[in-house]
Chain A
Amino acid sequence: MTDRFDIIVVGGGHAGCEAAAAAARMGARVALVSFARDSIGAMSCNPAIGGLGKGHLVREVDAFDGLIARAADHAAIHYRMLNASKGAAVQGPRIQADRKRYKDAIHTLLDDQAGLHIVEDEARALTLDHSDSVTGLALGSGRILSGKAVVLATGTFLNARMFCGADIAVGGRVGERAAQSLGDQLRARHLPIGRLKTGTPPRLDGRTIDWGVLEEQPSDGGDWTMSPLGPGRAAPQLFCAITRTNARTHEIIRAGLDRSPLYTGAIGAQGPRYCPSIEDKVVRFGDRDGHQIFLEPEGLDDPLVYPNGVSTSLPADIQTALIRSMAGLERAEIVQPGYAVEYDHIDPRALDASLAVRAIPGLYCAGQINGTTGYEEAAAQGLIAGINATAFAGGRAPLILDRASSYMGVMIDDLVLQGITEPYRMLTARAEYRLRLRADNASTRLTSIAQAVGCLGSARADWFNSRIRVREALLTKLEKESVSSERFAEAGVDVSRDGSRRSLFEWLRFPNVDAAAISRVSDVFDNVDPALIAEIAEDAHYAPYLARQEAEIRGLRANESVPIDPALDYRAIAGLSNEMTERLERARPETLAAAGRIRGITPAALSAILVHAKRRAA
């Protein structure tokens, strides 16, 4: 076997798998390097995929024919649409996965992908030429792989340390090694490196939980899935359960704080505000009498249960005591204590909007190495890094998604412009054009872009082309067919009989006119995919707001067309404060609009940059 590849991907987590598969879909010859073939596609933390903001990312990756949504459908043992009572823009599809089924599905998808080769070895160091461009990867076995671009998706493995009480171990996950030498190499190249922490809860033996006393949360009815091209709801559905911490739990935690590495100072790195450890919650929100804990089964034939909400690095004896203080868990056994991980990440401002490291041509980074948290965030970055590494290798322009196009665009823009101060998690609140960026219209928004960059398999392309035809035809009918208010009223729909006539599309804006109401007066929706009907009905319902955002976005895109020299000397510009200069130098925004989005950059500073750039151009 030859060791020449187009693209080399380091790491077989969610980012690495998507990067490798996307590159291979685009026709590249790809090496996916992992310590152990068997750990590829492992769900290392929470056995859930999707959620608010995160479900959007899953559907967006799926719109590019990615793996995560299809594998999730194969593995799902519990479906839940979060925020189901609210508008579709903030609904978050979420599943609980059977870990084994998930990993099997990923392996099958990778094995079926032509051009993708798994290399079981340790990534020791990048090989670089005299101009610091990537030429390949040196492996622990002494093999050297050559490649035009390398995607680093090493997760929490860079110089990782694990904490459980006073015990400290080197390594990224229980039972696995840390990537030490690669981390040292990156530090030696003067890449800006920071440190973050994340945590996991203890894993419980489900057979020792008293399920009978707990509130059950069954899987959603209905038949929605993560991907329209997955296997449907393939696995049997289980239920989750809910318990709560209480005053006694909090007492136990407070009494153990002097043995928590978070509070003894052993961990200095910043953890996420929104996913705090249970000790953080108790300290910061001392007035609350309890916090909800979700008990999530990890698999069909696996007794492990993930108590979502009690991430902790307290010593094992305190973990046992605090778990057993909760209803239903009085006799629960901990199989694997919770622990905190502290790890290196690259300041993502060292990357450009294509996720390329500016200082090392041909090097791309994706996932937790960029300071994010979550499978979905990782998968989305992996997809984009894989696409852009392939574009780079082929001498083509990178794919840059803007904030108005997708959550992926929002996330990457946030990362490369603002940097991070805590592990970055997707939230719908981060997307200013949230009303148009829905989980249910990801295909409509993105699949044609994916098609243009050549990232679709043939099954996806066929599905999408037929869907576009149906969608266009349906929209035309809805706009052409006009119906009077009387007609609706006679059909029992609550509208005022004012004699007005409107197109069906316009009628859908009215609060009492939904898809079911349309079907009472017209046959346009007969035999149409319910998901497509729901998508179009939502578009119609929010049409005035979407139109207003369109106008805003046009303004935004005008400024996007003013490029800034990547080597611009910000210190030479009169009137920029030191703080602004530092932020601009770190992020090196590629357009004037991007500069304006950097926190603390004022409109006046922006005009100074513009004037300076123009003067230099003249």
Chain B
Amino acid sequence: MTDTIFALSSGQPPAAVAIIRISGPRAGAALEMLSGRLPVPRRATLTRLLDPVTGEGLDRALMLWFPGPASATGEDLAELHLHGGRAVVARVMLSLSAIESLVLAEPGAFTRRAFEHGRMDLAEAEGLSDLLFAETEWQRRSALVMAEGGLSARVKGWQDRLLGLSAEVEAMLDFADEGDVEDQGESVASLNARIAILAADIRVMLDRPSGERLRDGIRVVLAGPPNAGKSTLLNALAGREAAIVSPRPGTTRDTIEVPLGIAGRPFLFIDTAGLHEGTGDEIEAIGMDRAHAAIGAADVILWLDETSESPAPERTIALYPRGDAEGRSMSPNGDMIVVSAASGAGLDALVAAILERADHLLPRTGEIALNRRQRECLASSHAALQTDDDLLIVAENLRVARADLDRLTGRAGTEDMLDALFGKFCIGK
């Protein structure tokens, strides 16, 4: 028999309330053993919890009962809302673990069961995971769209269109000679036209900003020659001593990553080793290699060198650092933002410039954003959607495109295509 799992589903105690979830065939039995009865489904019921063995009182609690399959996990599911003290929670967990075939849940086990029982598909499960890990408001809104099946609904729409197209092609291939299927020629052209439209629709989704940036933060790399004040500036932005700062050039020999939320958007600031003609120091050389790699992967480069051009100008915000220092060799030109980490001058303008760039890079709030796995599935589906005059190749391309979308949501089936085929046509003899 399937195990019944339980776990503390709210944050670490102490807290005002602690919630324990129990899911599986013995969830109802567990409730009865602790409270003496099974409450009315989906209604909060106040009860006194007793240890099933000793009869000792454990807590006064609210209990909720969701009989499967119409529950979050698709199984029988119970919730206990306890007083959130450490000892209360520990004692109730102990009593639960003494009940036969109840086991402590592994991480993600409730979501996994929901997935296995078809309560959510892969994309929804990923969305839920992102929601739980969301740290900024933008992340939360985007993850919510995914968890509620925003992407899945979109993919479902494409799958239906693909199934319809496949059904038509297969009808032309398998039944053309029986005379009950529309004549060819014109329909091949119309088929190809619809494939092209579908490919274009998927392209729009692929062209949207990636969900990776939303999850991992926009990569802002501070780069420039040694002792340009990169670390000082990072610390000013972060408001704390994230990077070790010293007036000696070359203090930052490795890259330093600082995640920051600014105005609800997630960022990953990366401080790099100063770039200059090498001194032959091996560690310094490695640091510079890493700096170059960071610049290559950057979404935004803060370039702290008024005397040279950034290696990737289109991704760069050019700075005139240490704006308050005396005796600088050059004066700032028009595009540069003059900043002083020491006085705080120019920081507001810099933050505004970074945010402006961020808003082009992040998915719009509440919009579907793809993670890497989803993007790969979708991109390969899109790549397969080539038009062709040879129906056999069209059919093969559609098959590959369908398989890629099936991988995206974790569902599959040729039989689905046959259902679509037979539902649509009068074929056969």
Contacts and interface: CB of A to CB of B under 8 A. Distances in A.
A571 B1 contact: yes
B179 A599 contact: no
B56 to A, nearest CB: 31
B177 A274 contact: no
A83 B414 contact: no
Nearest to A579: B118
B178 A292 contact: yes
A571 B2 CA distance: 7
Contacts of B429: 275, 294, 308-309, 311
A423 B191 CA distance: 30
Contacts of B122: 603
A90 B392 CA distance: 8
B375 interface: no
B411 interface: yes
Contacts of B20: none
B206 interface: no
B174 A90 contact: yes
A309 B179 CA distance: 11
A545 B122 CA distance: 29
Interface in A244-289: 272-276, 281, 284-285, 288
Contacts of B393: 87, 542, 545
Q: For chain A, what secondary structure do more than half of its interface residues adopt (helix, strand, loop), or is it mixed?
A: loop
B392 A89 contact: yes
Nearest to A430: B414
Contacts of A604: 112, 115-116, 410
Nearest to B407: A603
A576 B426 contact: no
B216 interface: no
A429 B413 CA distance: 12
B133 interface: no
Contacts, number: 110
Nearest to A596: B412
Interface in B150-200: 170, 173-180
A276 B422 CA distance: 11
Nearest to B177: A82
Of B1, B2, B177, B180, chain A has the most CB atoms within 10 Å of the CB of B177
Contact of B2 (A92, A428, A575, A602): A575
A291 B392 contact: no
A366 B390 CA distance: 36
B387 to A, nearest CB: 15
B428 A275 contact: yes
Of B112, B174, B421, B422, chain A has the most CB atoms within 10 Å of the CB of B174
B137 interface: no
A565 interface: no
Interface in A553-569: none
Contacts of B400: 548
Contacts of B413: 599
Nearest to B116: A575
Interface residues of B, number: 41
Contacts of B173: 52, 83, 86, 90, 428-429
Nearest to B117: A577
Contacts of B116: 575-577, 602, 604-605, 608
Contacts of B61: none
B241 interface: no
A429 B174 contact: yes
Nearest to A575: B116
Contacts of A294: 429
Contacts of A603: 122, 410
A276 B428 contact: yes
Of B178, B391, B422, B429, chain A has the most CB atoms within 10 Å of the CB of B429
A284 B426 contact: yes
A119 to B, nearest CB: 36
A427 interface: yes
A202 interface: no
A429 B411 contact: no
A573 B3 CA distance: 9
B60 interface: no
Interface string B99-116: 000000000000011011
Interface string A75-115: 00000001100110110100000000000000000000000
B428 A429 contact: no
A428 B391 CA distance: 13
Of A89, A273, A428, chain B has the most CB atoms within 10 Å of the CB of A273
Interface string B114-126: 0111100010000
Nearest to A571: B1
A432 B118 CA distance: 26
B177 A83 contact: yes
Contact of B113 (A92, A545, A575): A575
Nearest to A576: B116
B389 to A, nearest CB: 9
Given A52-B175, A429-B170, 17 more contacts: A53-B174, A82-B176, A86-B390, A87-B390, A87-B391, A272-B428, A284-B426, A291-B426, A308-B429, A429-B414, A430-B418, A432-B414, A574-B113, A576-B116, A602-B118, A603-B410, A608-B116
Interface of A: 52-53, 82-83, 86-87, 89-90, 92, 242, 272-276, 281, 284-285, 288, 291-292, 294, 308-309, 311, 418, 427-430, 432, 434-435, 542, 545, 548, 571-577, 599, 602-605, 608
